[in-house]
Amino acid sequence: MIKLATALALLIGSAASVAAATPQCMRPNDAEAEQAIRFQTELMVVSDTCGAPTYTLFARRNRTALMDYQHQVIERFRRSGAGHAEARFDSYLTRLANEVSLRLGAQPVAAVCRDAQNLLAMADTLAGDRFRRYVAEQAAHSSTRRCPD
């Protein structure tokens, strides 16, 4: 955990120069993709921290959906007019992982893993359309401002 937190913290400097990833408002499909990427990142860090295979299995089951969501976020970066949308996406992922790692790193690993039991159990049940419905529901309840149609 300390190695992961240290490595991710070192990457903060490179991500700090990236403009804010969230625009003033988002289209519904952009908000859904954002929620999916956030869920994936949280699960990745928690699964690694707790030594659980959950993330790997989740990513395999949801490979197509995750790729679709990643493309959606990259397209949002492209629409925002900034160049190098793929590089911005990579920096954005790094920033998200750093945020999660630093937040979790402030707690004992045993507490992180205890608190993450529900997340890990839920991730074990999410696949395909069920995953898509879950992130769509999360996006609908998020505080992200929606762009007018």
Q: Which of residues 47 and 5 earns the better pLDDT score? A: 47
Distances (CA, A) of 103 to 30, 98, 112, 136: 25, 8, 10, 25
Q: How far apart are CA 126 and CA 132, in angstroms?
A: 9
**Percent of the chain with pLDDT strictly greater than 90:** 62
- Output phi, psi for 146, to 5 deg: -90, 140
What pLDDT sits at residue 148? 58
What pLDDT sits at residue 12? 39
Q: DSSP secondary-structure letter at 52?
A: -
Q: Which of residues 24 and 140 earns the better pLDDT score? A: 140
Tokens standing for residue 30 = 């952009």
pLDDT in tens, 119-143: 999 999 999 899 999 999 988 887 6
* Ordered DSSP codes for 55-66: HHHHHHHTHHHH
Considering all CA atoms of the chain, what is the largest pairwise distance in Å, rounded to the nearest integer? 46
State the pLDDT confidence band at 145, using cuts at 50, 70 and 90.
Answer: low
Helix axes 28-50, 63-79, angle to 10 degrees: 130
State the pLDDT confidence band at 14, using cuts at 50, 70 and 90.
Answer: very low
- pTM score, whole prediction: 0.79
Question: Average pLDDT, whole number, for the chain?
Answer: 83
